[in-house]
Amino acid sequence: MINMFKKELMHVGEMASGVKLTVPVYSYKPEQSTAPNVYIQANMHGAEVQGNAVIFQLLELLKECNIQANITLVPYANPIACNHKNGEYTLGRFDPITGVNWNRMYHFDDGIIAPFVEQHIDATEAEIQTDFEQLLLDQIEDKLDHNMWGLTTGQRIAYQLQRMAHQADLVLDLHTGPISSKHLYCPEYIKASASYFDIPHTIFIPNDFDGAMDEATFCPWWSLQQAFESHGRNFTMGKGAFAKESFTVELGTQEQIDLVVAHEDALSILSYLQYKGVIAGNNESANLPKDFLPQQMTRYACYLKDYKALYAPMGGMVDYLAEFGKPLAAGEPLARILRMDNYSSESSVDGGPLHNICLDSEVLPILHFASASVNQGTELYKVFINYFEL
């Protein structure tokens, strides 16, 4: 038996020529959902395309899985970003008109928390869950509902995606870095989940809302839990009504599609979904492993405050040296910057043509800038400090 995913087109915008932009939504609902519902989207940033291939492989693999909950899969989440090339590359991180990061336009107004807690201080956990989810959905509906002043282009896309995500318990937003190792943004309260992904680097993030999809789906619940706690009613984040898990999954390097690697990434996600009971495991199909289990690997993690960006101390041409995921000792060069304008056959003028870029503490390199040429102040590398094994 093959699970049939339903396909729908969601209308998310209109360009100047009148062309309508749509996003395909693939969904499966078992007769009864007995496990956490799942929402997975890809390609909110235009150049970060590999998630589309992962959704392809997930759809192929899920055909023969024993699915226990609703699953919604959304590739091409942002057709404007995906279709916008300048030169040969995709200008995909921000709205080309306004500069606003497409992944900073989701909605959460923490002003809703206090009144809700007051109203529900004696409600059952089930009521809290139902009513708060409804409140979050109402907030989005209210935004999307045509108001006189309108919405920005990015909000119109983001809110429609968020409306689907709020109806799920497990949310995966598939991104990539520029040139990057695989890494995972994971809320601090569900550390255990990080080990079920085949991803060697995890950043644990706190309850700060900055407009991203993952934050927009877990921060409201975390804020709610904390507000109840301050009123003397204790729930545990990640459990019961608060069993909300959201991740930003960074699949590696942008501007690349690799269907073979996408198959591996799909297995990694299915490992997590089996752990959460969304798929039953014990597969009988010859096309599937018996169970989706995480791979053995060293998994490093750090807290968000220890995930550091290094900005180029000078303009120049960069030979990136440090390998991702390999601890780099203090004083070892991450990169060499070539400055041919300073070359001299004689002694070094203006510091000479080659400059090693070093740090004075051990780091774990995670990603680097996408181009070999940088301005002074361009983000060169992102690295873990104070990292630890999971």
Cβ of residue 374: shortest distance to its own copies, in angstroms? 6
Nearer to its own copies, 125 or 379 (CB): 379
For 324, counting Cβ atoms within 10 Å of its Cβ (0-12 exposed, 13-18 middle, 19+ buried), the class is: buried
Structure tokens, 388: 């630890």
CA 265 to each of CA 54, 66, 189, 251: distance values in angstroms, whole numbers, following the listed order: 6, 19, 24, 8
Cβ of residue 353: shortest distance to its own copies, in angstroms? 6
Structure tokens, 234: 């204790």
Q: How far apart are CA 202 and CA 298, in angstroms?
A: 11
- 289 CB contacts (<8 Å, ≥6 apart)? 267, 283
Structure tokens, 210: 């900055």
Cβ of residue 361: shortest distance to its own copies, in angstroms? 8
**Closest Cα to residue 134, out of 107, 116, 152?**
116
Nearer to its own copies, 22 or 37 (CB): 22
Nearer to its own copies, 296 or 347 (CB): 347
**Contact call for residues 62 and 115 (beta carbons, < 8 A):** no
Cβ of residue 349: shortest distance to its own copies, in angstroms? 9
Nearer to its own copies, 121 or 330 (CB): 330
SS3 at position 268: helix
Cβ of residue 101: shortest distance to its own copies, in angstroms? 6
Structure tokens, 300: 């490093």
Nearer to its own copies, 87 or 232 (CB): 87
DSSP state of 131: H
**Contact call for residues 193 and 172 (beta carbons, < 8 A):** no
**Contact call for residues 89 and 255 (beta carbons, < 8 A):** yes
Cβ of residue 174: shortest distance to its own copies, in angstroms? 12
Nearer to its own copies, 159 or 197 (CB): 159
Cβ of residue 126: shortest distance to its own copies, in angstroms? 33
Nearer to its own copies, 128 or 267 (CB): 267
